[in-house]
């Protein structure tokens, strides 16, 4: 990659004008780091509506035309997951940096090829794990990195709501990437899990799991659990992260207090006594204060746009790199294998560590 001035604006085209494309277009248009060069979609009427909503930008139906434009530095891919692989490879081979919405690809094998192609060509491949750039998750990452929670004991995540049942993916592939990408972002060793157990149910007979549970052992004897559900009449987006010092609760649907930290928990004084009774006598419970950190108000996608530009200028992996997207894919594929094995633990394919991907 060539040297870029910090003050120079980069040019980006948004590919896909469906559900997520308009949000990307709006944020890249508003960013001081970017100029929005084009909206690309086979449905030119839909693309034109997006272009008009952001003040007018060129509409192009042919992806090859976008990729041939030397003025375009990067593309943002907001198309169905099954199309990510060919679009991203074409863009990388044309010398463009790429940001792609979750999941990175529809299979781990295709995701690996995308990551390796970007590395070989010295280009940035960034996963649009938007939740990781919310003020709440950025604060959670900071608190864990600073040791405020202590060693992590468990992560318990719930993401449930009524609908929408997707035509091409099950509830794991639809909802769990959010929770998995957040864990990869906030945990010191990332989503570095060796196995996963998954139980899914299809009580409506839709042909795909509509309710699902994932369990993953973490380093040091900790465990992570994810509950996803399309059939719940109530909407819950909550993550509880327990540490040896404090426990944190993130409630994404509570704008008044999204993050709460509890100085409450279990203390176990391990001594040389060996009996169960003696062990029990050394357990004590902390009942301390609750604290809610102040969080800035900024749209997550604005932070995404800023990070994408910074990673290109600084020639470094993005905070949510292609490798992080690959770690999420690895867990999803192992979960599918576990489901097929009636919930038996299945190994997660080894991938690049968090430290390697950010070096």
Strands 223-229 and 211-217: antiparallel
Pull the structure tokens for residue 202: 């299809």
- State how far the Cα of 230 lies from the Cα of 194, in Å rounded to an integer: 27
More confident residue, 289 or 31: 31
188, burial (CB in 10 Å: exposed 0-12, middle 13-18, buried 19+): middle
DSSP code, position 348: P
End-to-end CA distance of the chain: 16
More confident residue, 265 or 289: 289
| pLDDT per residue as tens digits for the range 156-210 | 999 999 988 888 889 999 999 999 999 999 999 899 899 999 999 999 999 999 9
Q: Are 38 and 49 in contact (CB under 8 A)?
A: no
Q: Kindly compute the dihedral angle of the four CA atoms of residues 133, 136, 142, 146, in this order, to the nearest 10 degrees.
A: -160
- Give the CATH class of 132-299+328-332+342-357: alpha beta
Beta-carbon count within 10 A of 171 CB: 24
Q: Do 10-129+301-321 and 132-299+328-332+342-357 agree at the fold level?
A: no
Q: Which of 182, 240, 153, 190 is nearest to 348 (CA)?
A: 190
Please, what's the b/e burial string for 330-342 (b: 16 or more CB within 10 A of its CB; e: otherwise)? bbbbbbbebbeee
CATH topology for the 10-129+301-321 domain = Rossmann fold (3.40.50)
In the chain, domain spans: 10-129+301-321, 132-299+328-332+342-357
pLDDT at 274: 52
Query: What radius of gyration, in Å, describes the C-alpha atoms of the chain?
Result: 22
Question: Phi and psi at residue 6, in whole multiples of 5°?
Answer: -60, -30
Q: Which residues contact 336 (CB under 8 A, 6 or more apart)?
A: 172, 198
Q: Which of 178, 75, 77 is nearest to 132 (CA)?
A: 178
pLDDT range class, residue 329, cuts 50, 70, 90: very high
- State how far the Cα of 170 lies from the Cα of 210, in Å rounded to an integer: 6
Q: Which of 5-19, 20-34, 109-123, 141-155 has the lowest mean pLDDT?
A: 5-19
Residues paired with residue 97 on neighbouring β-strands, in sequence order: 74
Rounded mean pLDDT, 281-304: 86
pLDDT at 70: 96
């Amino acid at each position: 990659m060539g040297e870029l001035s910090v003050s120079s604006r980069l040019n980006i085209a948004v590919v896909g004008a469906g559900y997520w494309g308009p949000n990307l277009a709006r944020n890249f248009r508003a960013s001081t780091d970017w100029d929005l060069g084009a909206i690309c979609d086979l449905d030119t009427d839909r693309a034109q509506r997006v272009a008009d909503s952001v003040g007018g930008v060129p509409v192009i139906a042919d992806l090859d035309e976008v990729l041939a434009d030397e003025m375009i530095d990067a593309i943002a891919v907001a198309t169905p997951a099954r199309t990510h692989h060919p679009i991203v490879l074409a863009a990388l081979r044309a010398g463009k940096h790429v940001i792609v919405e979750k999941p990175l690809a529809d299979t781990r094998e295709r995701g690996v090829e995308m990551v390796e192609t970007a590395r070989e060509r010295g280009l940035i491949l960034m996963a649009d794990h938007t939740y990781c750039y919310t003020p709440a998750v950025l604060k959670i990452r900071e608190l864990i990195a600073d040791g405020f929670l202590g060693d992590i004991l468990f992560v318990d995540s719930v993401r449930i709501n009524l609908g929408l049942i997707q035509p091409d993916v099950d509830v794991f592939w639809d909802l769990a990437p959010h929770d998995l990408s957040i864990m990869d972002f906030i945990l010191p060793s990332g989503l570095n899990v060796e196995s996963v157990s998954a139980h899914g149910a299809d009580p409506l007979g839709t042909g795909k799991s509509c309710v699902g549970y994932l369990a993953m052992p973490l380093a040091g004897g900790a465990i992570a659990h994810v509950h996803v559900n399309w059939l719940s009449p109530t909407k819950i987006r909550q993550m509880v992260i327990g540490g040896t010092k404090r426990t944190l609760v993130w409630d994404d649907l509570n704008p008044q207090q999204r993050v709460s930290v509890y100085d409450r928990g279990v203390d176990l004084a391990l001594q040389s006594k060996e009996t169960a009774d003696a062990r029990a006598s050394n357990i004590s419970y902390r009942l301390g204060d609750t604290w809610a950190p102040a969080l800035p108000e900024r749209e997550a996608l604005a932070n995404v746009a800023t990070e994408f530009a910074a990673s290109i200028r600084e020639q470094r992996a993005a905070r949510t790199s292609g490798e992080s997207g690959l770690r999420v894919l690895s867990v999803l594929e192992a979960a599918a294998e576990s489901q097929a094995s009636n919930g038996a633990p299945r190994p997660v394919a080894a991938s690049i560590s968090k430290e390697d991907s950010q070096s």
